[in-house]
Amino acid sequence: MRRCNNVFSGWRCIFDLATKEQTVVQLEEQVERPDLWDNPQDAQRLFRQLAHLKEEVTTWRVLEQEAKSLQELIELAVQEADFSLRDSLEAESRSITSRIASLEFQATLSGEYDARNAILAIHSGAGGTDSQDWVNILMRMYIGWAERHGYETEIMDMSPGEELTGIKRVVLGVKGKYAYGYLKAERGVHRLVRISPYSDYDQRQTSFALVEGLPEVEEQTDVTLRPEDLRIDAFRAGGHGGQNVQKTSTAVRITHLPTGIVVTCQNERSQRQNKEFALKILRARVMDLELQRRAEEQAQLKGQHIAPEFGNQARSYVLHPYQMVKDHRTGYETPDTQRVLEGDLDELIQAYLLYALRSQESGPSAPAKGTRNPT
């Protein structure tokens, strides 16, 4: 327990709170400029940056004070040989250490959009009906992950598959701080190997799904969509049949002419709502395209190889003939497939984000050695 304050002091140096506090002062001076709102977009970005930095500094300062108070209590208990509070002090020490570790990891989420809400799109790939069922499984996995973190989720769009449980494509909105920072780790192809529930001969089936993690875009500040650059078409929403099939043209397809990006939305019952969701998704994809362009330019300057996004197999989930989830980028693997599919993704996500951070700092390198969870 005596190490608590020393540990905090070491991490405080890593995060350089004094410099961040100086930055807060500088930003506060900038927001007082009389010409600030001459450029509303820059003003909004400045206020967002200031609010985020102030919250970060405050969190650390509060935690620092708690650590100091705990250290004083520990020293007092040792001096008086009072062991009655030992269990409670040790529990508080573990809590502070855990919170510091969590904040340390959050420091890896330093990207421009990492603190934002996320848009998660899942597309079925090769594997037919099984791949559409795989999309449904992945959707429930990510909803489970979001619930563990206290994030809100909403289905922004969904295209039903051939079977009642199948989904060709689903777009989830995930609301919560750092949702995008975490979920960007899920981008890529996810492969499932199992005995197909749709086969009469208990055949092993391999299914694929593509996952896109996109940052939520703030309208008119990050991306501007000019009306003349958009082609908007309305059509009837599809479905499995019955009363839920729309009889009017409520579904919306929007084509962004400069980039060729096409977004469809048919989940809502009104054309207006579908259009709003489609524009929201389109803004995210246009901005993501720009972020990819910047990343490719930086990688070329560093001499790094950029592989096609769809060709990047991110992770395999093997349910037969053995149990294993393996991230092919980091080498991290675990035999606890059930826990992962229920939404316990934190260790997989953290392994990737730390690997990506090391790769960014050191340039091209081999994947990090995988870690195996206890059975």
* Cα 279 from Cα 119, distance rounded (Å): 12
Domain boundary among 276, 302, 328: 302
pLDDT band at 6 (very low <50, low <70, confident <90, very high): very low
CB-CB neighbours of 215 under 10 Å? 25
Does the residue 200 lie in any domain? yes
366 or 197, which is more confident?
197
pLDDT at 359 > cutoff 50: yes
Residue 374 domain-assigned (yes or no): no
Query: 20-29, 271-280, 302-311, 333-342: which has the highest mean pLDDT?
Result: 333-342
Asked if residue 31 and residue 153 are part of one domain, the reply reads no
Smallest CA-to-CA distance from 187 within 329, 359, 371 is with 329
Handedness of CA 44, 48, 51, 53 (dihedral sign): negative
Exposed, middle or buried: residue 268 (CB in 10 Å: 0-12, 13-18, 19+)? buried
199 and 172 inside one domain:
yes
- 372 in a structural domain: no
Last residue of a domain, one of 51, 81, 106: 106
- Give the lowest-confidence range in 125-139, 282-296, 317-331: 282-296
Query: Which range marks the domain in which residue 266 is found?
Result: 227-302
**Bridging pattern class, strands 230-235 and 251-256:** antiparallel
Q: Are residues 265 and 282 in the same domain?
A: yes
The CA-to-CA distance between both ends of the chain, in Å, stands at 30
Q: Name the range with the highest mean pLDDT among 245-254, 325-334, 348-357.
A: 325-334
Residues 293 and 321 reside in one and the same domain = no
What's residue 374's pLDDT?
32
| Rounded alpha-carbon distances, angstroms, from residue 250 to 154, 170, 227, 341 | 19, 18, 20, 34
Higher pLDDT, residue 47 or 151:
151
Q: Is 284 helix (H, G, I), strand (E, B) or coil?
A: helix
Do 313 and 298 share a domain, yes or no? no
Q: Is residue 148 part of a domain?
A: yes
3-state secondary structure of 93: helix
Q: Is the pLDDT of residue 241 over 50?
A: no
pLDDT for 192 beyond 90: yes
> How do residues 144-155 score in pLDDT, each as one tens digit?
999 999 999 999
Instruction: Domain count for the chain, please give it.
Output: 3
Q: Domain with 153 in it: what CATH number?
A: 3.30.70.1660
Residues 141, 65 share a domain = no
- Residue 9 and residue 140 in one domain: no
Q: What is the pLDDT of residue 238?
A: 64
Q: Are residues 206 and 134 in the same domain?
A: yes
Q: Is residue 371 part of a domain?
A: no
Same-domain check for residues 8 and 100: yes
CATH of the domain at 89: 1.20.58.410
Q: Is the pLDDT of residue 191 over 90?
A: yes
Domain stops at, among 79, 106, 133: 106
For residue 369, being part of any structural domain is answered with no
Domain match, 213 and 322 both: yes
- For residue 201, the model assigns a pLDDT of 80
pLDDT at 14 over 70: no
- Look at residue 343 in the predicted model and tell me its pLDDT: 97
Residues 287 and 346 in one domain: no
pLDDT score, position 365:
46
The CATH number of the domain where 266 resides is what? Answer: 3.30.160.20
Phi-psi region of 169 (alpha: psi -120 to 50; beta: other; left: phi over 0): beta
Distance CA 174, CA 73 (A): 41
Provide the strand spans (E) within 100-195. 118-124, 152-160, 167-175, 188-195
Q: Is the pLDDT of residue 46 over 80?
A: yes
97 and 237 part of one domain: no
Give per-residue pLDDT as tens, 290-334.
888 887 776 665 555 444 344 568 999 999 999 999 999 999 999
The answer to whether residue 220 scores a pLDDT higher than 70 is no
Q: Is the pLDDT of residue 58 over 80?
A: yes
Whether 110 shows a pLDDT value over 70: the answer reads yes
Residue at 69 is within a domain: yes
Check residue 299 and give its pLDDT. 65
Question: Does a structural domain hold residue 255?
Answer: yes
DSSP strand pairing (118-124 vs 167-175): antiparallel
